[in-house]
Amino acid sequence: MKWKYESPRKAYGETLVALGREREDIVVLDADLSTSTKTAMFGKEFPDRFFNVGLQEQNMMGIAAGLARSGKTVFASSFAVFATGRAYDQVRQSIAYPKLNVNIVATHGGVTVGEDGASHQMIEDIGLMCGLPNMRVIVPVDANEVRRVIRFVASQNGPFYVRLTRPALPLITSPEDEFVFGKAMLMRDGEDVAIIATGIEVSYALLAAEQLHKEGISAAVINMSTIKPIDKEIIVKYARKTGGIVTVEDHNIYNGLGSRVAEVLVEHYPARMLRVGMPDKFGRSGRWDELLAYYGMDDAGIIKAVKKLMEVKK
């Protein structure tokens, strides 16, 4: 498959600037990483509505809460490991509990942070944020969807957690596609197995499905951008239709997409299932694509998981 690639972080920065031109209530905070998160684009054009708090993520979340209390629509950004790990207590007590209008947009999520190594490869953030009452969690699949998601969360009353990646991602949706919060997007239909993926892993799922088709296995591919609330309807539909689900995520297999899907299956329609993701291990330093292959999270790893599931189904 030949795809064009675009940075989700750049799409985020550009969308913030566009929103800033349209609305004076938009304010943006960052924790000394604005060049990497691309919030610097907003800061350059709207310096009076941009606050770089320095290496103080906890304080950033408290300031974000105060600005939201004053009627602002707030975007607060940092790397995922800092936005959710270092500042968890402040997110919980100051943003989620009072249900304030703060959109936490974290970049550099997952093992695909790459060379920065285990200390910066946040593989538990989806679980942390999904566990917070009032928090809603979205993992866009590409730059086109990032633009739609950022506009969506800006139109709603927060809080939201939006997770972005470090690498540029293939454009597998079109600018005309619609983002429907809480609803998954069927990328490819299939009869034998359903691959439910999120974020960077959706493109690998599509590559795997193409190869599986050549081998006589019909695999559906579902882009699950909204992790919380999750689309129960499509999960049950494809569990019934195929009898087998494989989930794929750049996250620990515990407390992420796979866990959310398993909860739905257990409660509504038990089916065979396998989870592809970080196998409850901290990552290593290396090129992000090599790390995905090393941990069995690329298209070859997905194909292996699907074939294992197909054997169990027989």
Predicted confidence (pLDDT) per residue in 176-234, tens digit: 999 999 999 999 999 999 999 999 999 999 999 999 999 999 999 999 999 999 999 99
User: What is the reported pLDDT for 314?
Assistant: 62
Structure confidence at residue 172 as a pLDDT band (50, 70, 90):
very high
Instruction: Give a yes or no: residue 175 inside a domain.
Output: no
* Residues identified as active-site: 57
Nearest to residue 149, comparing CAs of 201, 225, 86, 89? 225
Neighbour count for residue 201 (Cβ, 10 Å): 32
Q: Is the pLDDT of residue 308 over 70?
A: yes
Q: Is the pLDDT of residue 43 over 80?
A: yes
Task: Report the CATH number that the domain containing residue 225 is assigned in CATH.
Answer: 3.40.50.920
Q: Are 158 and 101 in contact (CB under 8 A)?
A: yes
Sheet holding 272-278, edge to edge: 185-188, 219-223, 193-197, 244-252, 272-278
Tell which of 100, 135, 170 closes a domain.
Answer: 170
Q: Is the pLDDT of residue 248 over 90?
A: yes
Based on the domain organization, do 192 and 165 belong to the same domain?
no
Based on the domain organization, do 219 and 158 belong to the same domain?
no
Based on the domain organization, do 195 and 114 belong to the same domain?
no
Based on the domain organization, do 162 and 261 belong to the same domain?
no
The runs of H, that is alpha helices, within the chain are: 8-22, 34-37, 40-45, 57-69, 80, 88-90, 125-130, 143-155, 201-214, 232-242, 257-268, 288-294, 299-313
Query: What is the average pLDDT across 78-107?
Result: 97
- The DSSP secondary-structure symbol of 164 reads -
**Percent of the chain whose predicted confidence (pLDDT) is above 90:** 97
Neighbour count for residue 24 (Cβ, 10 Å): 11
User: What is the total count of domains within the chain?
Assistant: 2
Based on the domain organization, do 111 and 221 belong to the same domain?
no
Instruction: Give a yes or no: residue 15 inside a domain.
Output: yes
Based on the domain organization, do 153 and 37 belong to the same domain?
yes
Task: Report the CATH number that the domain containing residue 144 is assigned in CATH.
Answer: 3.40.50.970
Tell which of 170, 196, 224 closes a domain.
Answer: 170
Based on the domain organization, do 35 and 149 belong to the same domain?
yes
Sheet holding 102-107, edge to edge: 50-52, 26-30, 73-79, 102-107, 160-163, 136-138, 226-228
Instruction: Give a yes or no: residue 121 inside a domain.
Output: yes
Query: Token pair of 123, please?
Result: 């593989």
Give tens-digit pLDDT for 270-304. 999 999 999 999 999 999 999 999 999 999 999 99
Instruction: Give a yes or no: residue 196 inside a domain.
Output: yes
The amino acid present at 290, given as its one-letter code, is E
- Domain extent, residue 11, equals 5-170
Instruction: Give a yes or no: residue 236 inside a domain.
Output: yes
Q: Is the pLDDT of residue 312 over 80?
A: no
Instruction: Give a yes or no: residue 205 inside a domain.
Output: yes
Based on the domain organization, do 269 and 218 belong to the same domain?
yes
The whole-angstrom separation of Cα 196 and Cα 249 is 9
Instruction: Give a yes or no: residue 241 inside a domain.
Output: yes
Query: Token pair of 84, please?
Result: 């959710």
Based on the domain organization, do 19 and 83 belong to the same domain?
yes
The whole-angstrom separation of Cα 225 and Cα 141 is 7
Based on the domain organization, do 71 and 218 belong to the same domain?
no
Tell which of 143, 170, 197 closes a domain.
Answer: 170
Instruction: Give a yes or no: residue 314 inside a domain.
Output: no
Based on the domain organization, do 18 and 123 belong to the same domain?
yes
Q: What's the predicted TM-score (pTM) here?
A: 0.96
Based on the domain organization, do 10 and 152 belong to the same domain?
yes
